[in-house]
Amino acid sequence: MEIGLFEAIYSARSLRRFKPDPVPDEVITKVLDAAIRAPSGSNQQSWEFVIVKDAAQRKKIGAVYQKGGAILKALYTDRVKPEHMSEDTYKKLMASAYYLIDHMADAPVLLLACLKQVPMAGAPPKLPPEVAAAMKSQARISGSSIYPAVQNIILACRGLGLGTVLTTIHTFFEDEVKEILGLPPRRGPAAEAQAQYLETPASAERRARLREQQRLAQVSRPRPEARPDKRDRRRLMRLQRDQT
Ligand SMILES: Cc1cc2nc3c(=O)[nH]c(=O)nc-3n(C[C@H](O)[C@H](O)[C@H](O)COP(=O)(O)O)c2cc1C
């Protein structure tokens, strides 16, 4: 049964505890077909999606991910809880993210969305200074041509009953990941999404948020015009009669 777009958006939570069920190739193909519908700068479509199902390779990537996790833990030593999260939500998120560090290889499918760093066809080899100056924000937006595809992957998976979590910390050791996968140097694994069948169709928190949204929608919906009751209607008719 397919779910609607908005239900998919609201219920696509990050899931980090994996079921071992294999994901059929036709399902992966459908997910990738959704990925390539995404927009990309100048329609370059400089992406490549690497699907890792082989247990030995997953194990190797899992080991790299653990190394990335150690760095994340060091970065997070004194991390202050973001204001919008409750203490409980924050603790659960951290416990879940730390669990993933040691269990990445359990996911039956790792999907690496890679951005090929190819120069724009026909671009001048040396940019005029004013063009180079205008390009200074390029590093910050460099992921913007791959993440729309990643979001399509997340939503397509959700629509097909697969859970995902987007992670990036394996890129701390990008060269090792490339070596395991035999990727050429100019192709960076920008993000990784793990696909696995969901234990439950959607998690409670996202559902709660959805309910909240519905409540908000009700609050902001304009109240229907008050319908005059019988007595008002009779008074109105009398008034109209008197005026004619
Ligand atoms: C760029 C990016 C990097 C992320 N990196 C990690 C990560 O390293 N480990 C992890 O467990 N989750 C990671 N996440 C998932 C976020 O923790 C998650 O999206 C966020 O907590 C919101 O939770 P939700 O997706 O369930 O709504 C990442 C998400 C994004 C967008």
In short, whether 165's Cβ falls inside 6 Å of ligand 1 is: yes
What CATH number does the domain containing 36 carry? 3.40.109.10
Say how many Å lie between the CA of residue 79 and the centre of ligand 1. 15
pLDDT at 199 over 80: no
Per-residue model confidence as pLDDT tens digits over 118-149: 766 677 778 888 888 888 887 788 789 999 99
In short, whether 164's Cβ falls inside 6 Å of ligand 1 is: no
33 occurs within a structural domain: yes
Domain that holds residue 64: 5-118+143-220
CA-to-CA separations, 234 to 64, 230, 242, 243, in angstroms, rounded: 80, 6, 12, 14
Please, where are the H alpha helices in 12-140? Answer: 25-35, 55-75, 87-103, 129-134
226 occurs within a structural domain: no
Contact at 8 Å (CB) between 110 and 157? no
Contact at 8 Å (CB) between 183 and 50? yes
> What is the spatial distance between Cα 36 and Cα 49, in angstroms, rounded to a whole number?
10
Ligand 1 pocket mutation pick from 14, 94, 203 by most atoms within 8 angstroms of CB: 14
pTM, to two decimals: 0.78
> What is the spatial distance between Cα 164 and Cα 235, in angstroms, rounded to a whole number?
63
Cβ-based burial of 210 (10 A; exposed 0-12, middle 13-18, buried ≥19): middle
In short, whether 169's Cβ falls inside 6 Å of ligand 1 is: yes
Per-residue model confidence (pLDDT) at position 138: 78
Contact at 8 Å (CB) between 148 and 35? no
Split into its structural domains, the chain has a count of 1
160 occurs within a structural domain: yes
232 occurs within a structural domain: no
53 occurs within a structural domain: yes
When pLDDT is cut at 50, 70 and 90, the band that residue 99 belongs to is: very high
Say how many Å lie between the CA of residue 12 and the centre of ligand 1. 12
In short, whether 166's Cβ falls inside 6 Å of ligand 1 is: yes
The owner of tokens 């724009």 is 120
135 occurs within a structural domain: no
Per-residue model confidence as pLDDT tens digits over 29-77: 999 999 999 999 889 888 888 999 999 999 999 999 999 999 999 999 9
228 occurs within a structural domain: no
In short, whether 168's Cβ falls inside 6 Å of ligand 1 is: yes
